[in-house]
Amino acid sequence: MNFEKVVFGFFIVLALTLNFGFFVGDMDNPEHHHAMELGAALAVSLIATIMKFGDRSQMGAVLLATSLVADLQLLIACFIWAYAAYATEAGVTSEVLASIVSVAGGALLANFVSVTLLVAETITIRR
């Protein structure tokens, strides 16, 4: 068993599951979405992206692209949250939270594609 591939797969799947954990719940209910969970999803997604830089294959390029999309979406969601919380008088309203969750949903889709590609690549590897 290749420990490097285990760690690589771990971070890719963890990025997906943390993103999913933030996304699930009523879109406009602040009790269902926590800023720390969004931050953790972003941090793990960034770590997964850094780990994908070493692969020079075509599949590696696609995996990196999906990870960069997820990072961008999560960064935008964090920016919207921070802007609403600290730069507006209204704060994080249900409308703003719905936007944050929608953007995080895009990152969830990108992470899902990344995990699907990883599983497909793993299945096609012949011994």
pLDDT digits (tens, 9 = 90+) for 76-86: 999 999 999 99
- What are the domain boundaries of the chain? 3-124
H/E segment holding residue 61: helix 58-87
Residue 85 C-beta-side C-alpha neighbours within 13 Å: 11
pLDDT at 30: 83
What does pLDDT average to over the chain?
92
Better pLDDT: 54 or 88: 88
pLDDT at 126: 66
Better pLDDT: 119 or 56: 119
E strands in 5-100:
none
pLDDT tens per residue, range 38-76: 999 999 999 999 998 877 888 889 999 999 999 999 999
pLDDT at 71: 97
pLDDT at 29: 84
How far apart CA 105 and CA 43 sit, in angstroms, is: 16
Coil vs helix vs strand at 54:
coil
pLDDT at 127: 57
